[in-house]
Amino acid sequence: MPVVSALTVFPVKSFAGTPLSSMTVGVAGPRADRRWMLVGDDGVTLTARKFPRMLAAHARPLDGGVELSGAGLPTIVVPEPSGPADVPVEMSRVGTATPAGAEAAAWCSELLGRSVRLVWLDDPARRGMSDRHGGTVADPLALTDTGPLHVTTTASLARLNTWADEIHDELVGEALVAGRPAPDPRRVLDMRRFRPNLVLDGDLEPFAEDDWSTVVVGDVELRFADTCGRCVMTTIDPDTQRKGKEPLRTLARHRRRDGEVWFGIQMVPVRFGTVSVGDEARVG
């Protein structure tokens, strides 16, 4: 059986995640996952696609709040706000969110070098999933893009790195023939680029997850919702925040359909509880 090799929660959308040894999963996905996000003064959601420095900031979930650190800024604790959800935000099926206060706004504004606010989604049930991604409005969704829980496998990442090596070798050969400088050495892609909540390791075929309908692990049962289309955010190195061409270049050659490239799957919890690193997973 495959086993859980990593669990990660992302309290603030587009911030670095927090690795966990055990994760509580509820109807809206992992507890504390993506309940906070940054918005501009106009209410537009801000992500690392446009502001890569967000990946240098860390968000650690606390009982009743979140701890913000990293990016050379002092560590602060932000409690869950108790005020009304009265900040208009431009995110589908959200409408409004609750401001996290002046200290949090100042911290996040210094992070991005512009005026922003940290806001909190009080109740994921206010935002149901889209049927375009295998859900219904009855499936609560926090501030994730498409699904409540993201699953990947180490087998798929290993195959992706093999493909990327092959493409890099081709580019080196073409450069030698043309008398051009060789491309920079390729950095191995690590799983943090894909920001999964749950990673499975074991004797699996690469991309076998595309065909799973269910995963049962720990106390939790998940049902398949959709494969995960990847965006430019995966091209940002999580350590340096520099943009490159991978993994989209390789995915475009090997994993392209319907105008998108795909890696990992989105799943919906149907039985809730706790999952831990080392738990065996039954897939079907």
Confidence of residue 162 (pLDDT cuts 50, 70, 90): very high
Residue numbers of the domain that contains 15: 3-125
Is the pTM higher than 0.85? yes
Predicted local distance difference test score (pLDDT) of residue 109:
98
Half-sphere exposure of 90 (CA within 13 A, CB side): 9
How many independent structural domains does the chain possess?
2
- CA dist., res. 182 & res. 200, Å (int): 36
Residues 119 and 156 in one domain: no
Residues 107 and 230 in one domain: no
Predicted local distance difference test score (pLDDT) of residue 69:
98
Answer whether residue 282 shows pLDDT above 90. yes
Residues 155 and 277 in one domain: yes
CA dist 187 to 91, 94, 192, Å?
Answer: 34, 38, 13
The CA R_g of the chain, rounded to the nearest whole Å, is 19
Predicted local distance difference test score (pLDDT) of residue 81:
95
